Structure 1
Amino acid sequence: MQTNNKTSDDAQRLSPSAYLAKALPIVQKANAISLRYFRKGFTQEEKGPGDVVTQADKEIERFLIEQLGVLFPGTGFLGEEYGAQGSQDLVWVMDPIDGTANFSRGLEFYCTSVALVEKGVPIVGMVINPVTGECFSAAKGCGANLNDMPIRVSDATLRKSMVVDGLGLSLPQQRERLARIGRIAAETWQVRILGAIALEMAYIAAGRLDIRACSNQKPWDVAAGAVLVQEAGGKATDFAGSDWRMGAEGIVASNGTAHDTLLGLIHRKE
């Protein structure tokens, strides 16, 4: 797939809010593609053990690259299906369908996730669930919104927090995550496994969930969610407690009320 070969220095830099305003209609159009496949059916293939990709994943990512490339010449792309293209200084990081397993089985908890990342730091985030019509968006310094209405993380204490996590695909991942979940669950209220980390982080931004930790995330899984959580008043850090950026080791997203305690639970040895 061909993309514009200009460097990002050739692109006219906009404010994060301006990038969001121009890009959001394109991401919303992409969601119409996934909704069409969700309702009418699709073919799929296995990328690895337990990891599937559908027609919709590939078509949506191609659409986003083509449309955003025309609108923002000089920006690069990093996606789950087609990898890195163009400059990575100012890059659109995308997961065409986050929660593909849910999507492939007709479960409505999935989304399209798109972030704009500048020199490793996410500055724009968009997470949209086509089935519910919920559009979560944020631009650095401008707050977070759900369908144009401001959202805010909850003020739940650690003991009253609702946690979301996942088990992973391999046995070592499952063992590590189960141990972490056990440590966190002992100090919190409820634990859920939902299967779409970008949408889970959007729910933290909206105050529906409170905590999500992941040790082996890909950038397209969490970049948009990190902006949403931070702009909604929460924290999205690496396992060392620094603000999350590309290449970070792990991610911890929370409403912020007991973030340091969470980091301690994650690092604690049994």
Structure 2
Amino acid sequence: MVLTKKDLKFLEDKSFELIKKADRMILEGFQKDKTIKNKDIRDISTNIDVSVEEFLKDKLKELLPEAGFIIEEGKSTPSNEYNWVIDPIDGTKYYSGKVPMVITQIGLLYKNKSILGLCSNPFTGDIFSASLGNNTKINKKIVKLDMKKTPNESIVDCDFGGLDQNIDSKIELFRYLVNNFYRVRITAGFLHPYLITGAIDVIVTYLKDRTQKKEKFTIDYSPRFILYEELGFVKKDFIFKNLPIMVISSKDLMNSFVKNYEQFKPI
């Protein structure tokens, strides 16, 4: 079964209503005491994460029964073709500490390619959505964005990951960005969906998780890719001083990386 543009728009609209309900669950749980579970040395999960994920999984299963699931909290059950991706609370550590900086994400992949995605901010009520051939939208309104900016006018948001042996290369990359762009922010990915609003202009991400934690990378990033692609942003991977990175920006800003081929070597 191959989903058409019309099919994807139907799924996008249905998913929009589901993520709104999920956001209400997240808001209702924000001030309540939570059960916290450590997943590893740095990642945690709460009972709200689990409840939201189970709700979304049950409802998305009804929409596309043949699809598998790649999920954050429970056990993933991927299929060979279509897979729903769910990140119930991206920013659980913030959420558990009563910091209102979280994103809820739903994605749909076809053979590992992002064809539908929604990212919502429960605290503002904004829902970013897109599906293949159906444009990028904020609260169902098609986004129109002026992407003609120079590096001197542009804000970069970075996600450098945690401590590892590449700290010197990360510092060198940070120095390059600070010297060549208007401003650099480090928000652990929180601002990444806001590329489509113009709040930031370039995303630079360390690709350690893509090579070492492929499922985690898919959950964190794949729902957003279709938002960027439908608006005309481009994505390229580079090696900077042995550091694998992903850059997402307009075509014009991407040229500032591509032309500096001595430092940014395409992968």
- TM-score, structure 1 as length reference: 0.83
Hey, what does 2:180 align to over in structure 1? 187
Residue in 2 that maps onto 1:245: none
| Superposition pairs of residues 103-142 of structure 1, within 5 angstroms | 103-142=95-134
Q: 1:226: which partner in 2?
A: 225
| Separation (CA, whole Å) in 1 of partners of 2:259 and 2:93 | 31
Residues 90-123 of structure 1 show CA distances to partners (whole Å, capped at 9, x for unaligned) of: 1111211112222222222211011111111101
Alignment CA distance shift 1:109-1:18 (3 Å): same
Identity of aligned pairs, percent? 25
Q: Please state how far the C-alpha of 1:254 moved relative to its aligned partner.
A: 1.4
Q: Check conservation: 1:167, 1:178, Cα contact below 8 A.
A: no
How far residue 263 of structure 1 moved from its aligned partner, in angstroms, is 5.0
Q: Out of 72-81 and 101-110, give the one that drifted further.
A: 101-110
Q: How far 1:210 moved relative to its partner?
A: 0.7
Which position in structure 2 is the counterpart of 1:257?
A: 252
Find the counterpart in structure 2 of residue 168 from structure 1: 161
Number of equivalences? 250
Q: CA deviation at 1:62?
A: 1.3
- What is the rounded CA distance, in whole Å, between the counterparts of 1:201 and 1:83 in structure 2? 26
Letter in 2 for 1:260: N
Q: Contact 1:168 / 1:174 at 8 angstroms: preserved in 2?
A: no
Q: Tell me the residue number matched to 1:243.
A: none
Report the AA paired with residue 202 of structure 1: P
Distance 2:262 2:71 in 1: 30
Query: Which amino acid is 1:257 matched to?
Result: D
Aligned-partner residue type, residue 249 of structure 2: S
Ranges in structure 1 where 5+ consecutive residues have no aligned partner: 1-8, 241-248
Tell whether the 8 Å contact from 1:49 to 1:169 is kept in structure 2 after alignment: no
Name the CA shift for 1:35/1:88 in 2 (closer, same or farther; >3 Å): farther
SS of alignment partner, residue 84 of structure 1: coil
Asked if 1 retains the 8 angstrom alpha-carbon contact of 2:149 and 2:253, the reply is no
Give the residue type in structure 2 aligned to 1:256: K
Q: Is the partner of 1:261 in helix, strand or coil?
A: helix
The CA deviation at 1:173 is 5.5
The aligned counterpart of 1:40 is 32
Identify if the C-alpha distance between structure 1 residues 103 and 141 changes in structure 2 by more than 3 Å, giving closer, same or farther. same
